[in-house]
Chain A
Amino acid sequence: MKRCFIALALSLGAVPVQAETIAITGGKVAIGDGSAALENATVIVRDGRISAVGKVTPPAGARIIDATGKWVTPGLIAGFSRIGLVEVDGVAPSNDTAASGSPFSAAIDVAPAINPKAGAIAVSRRGGITRAVVAPSTGRDLFAGQGAVIDLGADDNAIMRPRAFQFVELGESGAATAGGSRAAAHVQFRNALLEARDYARNPAGYGGRDRDALLMRLDAAALVPVVEGRTPLFVHVERASDILQALELRREFPALKLVLVGVSEGWLVADRIAAAKVPVIASALNDLPAEFEMLAATQSNIGRMAKAGVVVAIGMINDNDARQARLETQYAGNLVALTRVPGATGLDWGAALAAMTARPAEILGLSQELGTLSAGKRADVVIWDGDPLDLASAPVTVMIDGVDQPLATRATRLRDRYLNLDESQKPRGLAR
Chain B
Amino acid sequence: MVFSKPALALTLAAALAACADKPPPRTASSAPRKDAVPTAYPSTYKPYPGVATVIRNATIFDGEGGRIDNGVVFLSGGKVSAIGGADTPVPADAVVIDGAGKYVTPGVIDIHSHLGNYPSPAVAAHQDGNEMTGPVHPDVWAEHSVWPQDPGFSRALVNGGVTALQVLPGSGDLFGGRSVTLKNVPARTMQAMKFPGAPYSLKMACGENPKRVYGGRNQMPGSRMGNLALNRQTWANAQEYKRKWAAWKAKGAKPTDQPKRDIGLETLAGVLDGDIQVQNHCYRADEMAVVIDMAKEFGYKVAAFHHAVESYKIADLLRENGICSAMWADWWGFKMESYDAIDENIALVHQAGACAIVHSDDENGIQRLNQEAAKVLGDARRIGINIAPEVAWTWLSYNPAKAMGIADRTGSLKPGKMADVVLWNGDPLSVYARPEKVWIDGALMYDMDDPKRRPVSDFELGQPGEGDAK
Interface, chain A (partner B; CB < 8 A): 87-91, 119-120, 123, 240, 265, 268, 285, 287-292, 294-300, 320, 322-324, 326-327, 330, 333-334, 336-338, 340-344, 385-386, 389-394, 411-412, 414-415, 418-419
Identify the stretch in B188-196, B296-304, B430-438 within 8 Å (CB) of chain A at 4 or more residues. Answer: B430-438
Contact check, A392 vs B378: say whether CB atoms are below 8 A apart: yes
Instruction: Beyond the given A336-B431, A411-B341, please list 7 additional residue pairs across the A-B interface where CB-CB is below 8 A.
Output: A291-B122, A295-B465, A299-B469, A299-B470, A300-B468, A330-B368, A385-B382
Cα distance, A89 to B335, chains bound together (Å): 6
Residue pair A391, B334 in contact (C-beta under 8 Å) = no
Tell me if A285 and B468 are in contact (CB < 8 A): no
Q: How far is the CB of B458 from chain A (nearest CB, A)?
A: 12
**CA of A360 to CA of B159 in the docked complex: distance in angstroms?**
28
Cα–Cα distance between A418 and B311 once the two chains are bound (Å): 11
Interface size band for B: 35 or more
Q: Given A295-B463, A392-B375, A392-B378, A120–B333 Cβ distance below 8 Å?
A: yes
> Would you list 30 pairs from A and B whose C-beta atoms are within 8 A, ordered by A residue?
A89-B334, A123-B332, A268-B465, A285-B367, A288-B120, A289-B121, A295-B460, A296-B468, A297-B465, A297-B470, A298-B465, A300-B469, A320-B331, A330-B371, A330-B375, A330-B431, A336-B432, A337-B433, A338-B434, A338-B469, A341-B434, A391-B377, A391-B430, A391-B431, A411-B342, A412-B342, A414-B340, A415-B344, A418-B348, A419-B383
Q: Counting chain B CB atoms within 10 Å of each CB, which of A88, A89, A289, A295 scores highest? A: A289
The 7 closest A-B CB pairs, nearest first, are A392-B378, A333-B431, A296-B465, A90-B335, A343-B469, A391-B374, A296-B464
B313 interfacial contact with A, CB 8 Å: yes
Q: Which secondary structure characterizes the binding site on chain B?
A: loop
Does B139 make an interface contact (CB < 8 A)?
A: no
**Known interface pairs A289-B459, A330-B371, A418-B312; A411-B377 also in contact (CB < 8 Å):** no
Task: Tell me if A's interface is mostly helix, strand, loop or mixed.
Answer: loop
What is the CA–CA distance of A28 and B6 in the complex, to the nearest angstrom? 45
Which B450-470 residues have C-beta < 8 A from chain A?
Answer: 451, 459-460, 463-465, 468-470
CB-based nearest B residue for A123: B332
Interface contact B120-A391, CB-CB below 8 Å: no
| Inter-chain contact B378/A391, CB cutoff 8 Å | yes
Closest Cβ of chain A: how far from B376's Cβ, in Å?
A: 9
Indicate if the CB atoms of A289 and B120 lie closer than 8 Å.
yes
- Bound Cα distance from A322 to B430, whole angstroms: 26
Asked if B41 is at the interface of the complex by the 8 Å CB criterion, the answer is: no
A89 to B337, CA, bound (A): 11
Q: Are B464 and A292 in contact (CB under 8 A)?
A: no
B159, B426, B432, B469: the one contacting A342 at CB < 8 Å is B469
Known: A391-B371, A392-B381. A295 touches B3 (CB 8 A): no
Interface residues of B in 118-137 (CB under 8 A from A): 120-123
Instruction: Specify which of A123, A285, A341 is in contact with B364 (CB 8 Å cutoff).
Output: A285
A269 to B429, CA, bound (A): 34
Q: Does B363 contact A (CB under 8 A)?
A: yes
| Minimal Cβ-Cβ distance residue in B for A349 | B432
**Any A CB within 8 A of the CB of B229:** no
| Bound CA–CA A218/B136 (angstroms) | 50
Q: Kindly state whether residue B151 has any CB partner on chain A within 8 Å.
A: yes
The distance from the CB of A63 to the nearest CB of chain B, in whole angstroms, is 24
- In the complex, chain B residues 303-340 whose Cβ is within 8 Å of any chain A Cβ: 312-313, 330-336, 338-340
